[in-house]
Amino acid sequence: MRARVGARVRVRAGVGGPGGVRHVLLWAAGLAALALSVAVAVTIGPADISVPDVWSAVAAHLGGGEARLTPIRDGIVWNLRMPRTLLAAVCGAGLAVCGTVLQSLLRNPLADPFVLGVSSGASTGAVAIVVLGIGGGAVSVSAGAFAGAVCSFALVLFLSHTLGGSADRVVLSGVAAMQLFSALTSFVILTSGDAETTRSVLFWLLGSLSGVGWIDVWLCGAVLFAALAVCLTQARTLDAFAFGQDAAATLGVHVARTRLLLLSVTALLTGALVSSAGAIGFVGLVLPHAARALVGSGHARLLPVTALAGAVFLVWVDTLARTVLDPQEVPVGVVTSLIGVPAFVLVLYRTRRTT
């Protein structure tokens, strides 16, 4: 049995299979699409800026020459649009990677980064800082959101361990934590916030990349690369989990320890992203399925492709959100939900047909 499962895992991972050139070309196309998307997205807005102007400004700030733009237009590119667009790419990639890991780890095609209740916990932490003023101004909204995410994940681990620790128990514990922290957030907003504070908090809770800076890009980018590196080292293990816990254990995987490691990585990555960009839903649900249709289920190939697809997707979603009703901005989470709900229904329908 172990030999049969191992062979199936190798086939799923693409070991020794055809299509290596195709995947290299797909990788190159994905990287080119991401670079072009970032460059073009930065040019879109009220100020008329071209792609060569963007490259000139970036090269000047990286020490590669002098910018051809005026200081104001250079500031628009480098201080406003570029960090926002790059953070959109980082958030899209991170959420998509988290969804890929959770769907395999929990064997649930409808799992996404918020199945652990991390988003709700982060929202509660941010609201506590903004509305209640916890920390007396010494604690930032991002730090509060991250602390809330960690608390929510700790509660999920405690509940799932108490209830038996199976994948189903983790999902149920995440739903319970999500409902608890959502109720706490609503209670704090309704009882302690004035109208203007409530409006700004609700806008952030729906997902917003406005006002982000380079510190957010570097922080979230570092967490993303660390998390992606860990997940890639566990790619073969994730392939085994896709066949069930018993199959993974047969191949020598320490199921409980590996699940704790990967759940912790996805929770910390989600917490970092939510702390900077708010709650952006459906990216981790939809993009993994789209990537599987392109490269299959082998996680050594699936994880990087999913990250690229998520990055390109959210760059354009954010561009649409900030320009479609200009000068008014639409929360990014609203746009992803409008796109994600039909995709969710499609995934649900396909799941029903295969069961």
Q: Which tens digit of pLDDT belongs to each residue from 147-192?
A: 888 888 889 888 887 877 677 788 888 889 999 998 998 888 888 7
What is the count of structural domains for the chain? 1
How far separated are the first and last CA of the chain, in Å rounded?
Answer: 24
Kindly tell me the number of DSSP H helices and DSSP E strands found in the chain.
Answer: 16, 0
pLDDT at 223: 94
Does residue 45 form part of some domain? no
Cβ contact 220:273 at 8 Å: yes
Q: What percent of the chain has pLDDT over 70?
A: 89
Does residue 318 form part of some domain? yes
Q: How far is CA 33 from the centre of its chain?
A: 19
Token pair for residue 32?
């080119």
**Distance (Å, whole) CA 58 – CA 9:** 44
pLDDT band at 49 (very low <50, low <70, confident <90, very high): confident
Does residue 28 form part of some domain? no
Q: Which amino acid is at 338?
A: L
Does residue 132 form part of some domain? yes
Token pair for residue 217?
């890009």
What is the residue whose two structure tokens read 């009703």? 325
Q: At what angle do helices 141-163 and 255-277 cross, to 10 degrees?
A: 150
What does pTM read for this prediction? Answer: 0.87
Structural domain containing residue 150: 2-21+91-354
Q: Which residues contact 118 (CB under 8 A, 6 or more apart)?
A: 149, 152, 153, 267, 270, 271, 274
Q: Which tens digit of pLDDT belongs to each residue from 6-31?
A: 545 544 554 444 456 777 788 888 89
Does residue 144 form part of some domain? yes
pLDDT band at 283 (very low <50, low <70, confident <90, very high): very high
In terms of phi and psi (left: phi > 0; alpha: psi -120 to 50; beta: otherwise), the region of 136 is left
Does residue 53 form part of some domain? no
The CA distances from residue 210 to 81, 155, 207, 216, in Å, are 9, 31, 9, 11
- What's the average model confidence in pLDDT over 211-219? 91
Does residue 164 form part of some domain? yes
Q: Which tens digit of pLDDT belongs to each residue from 78-92?
A: 999 999 999 999 999
CATH number at residue 222: 1.10.3470.10
Does residue 35 form part of some domain? no
SS3 253: coil
* Residue 246 vs residue 307, higher pLDDT: 307
In 14-50, alpha helices (H): 20-43
Q: Which tens digit of pLDDT belongs to each residue from 301-355?
A: 999 999 999 999 999 999 999 998 878 889 998 999 888 888 778 777 776 665 5
Token pair for residue 68?
């051809």
Q: Which helix (DSSP H) or strand (DSSP E) does residue 105 occupy?
A: helix 82-105
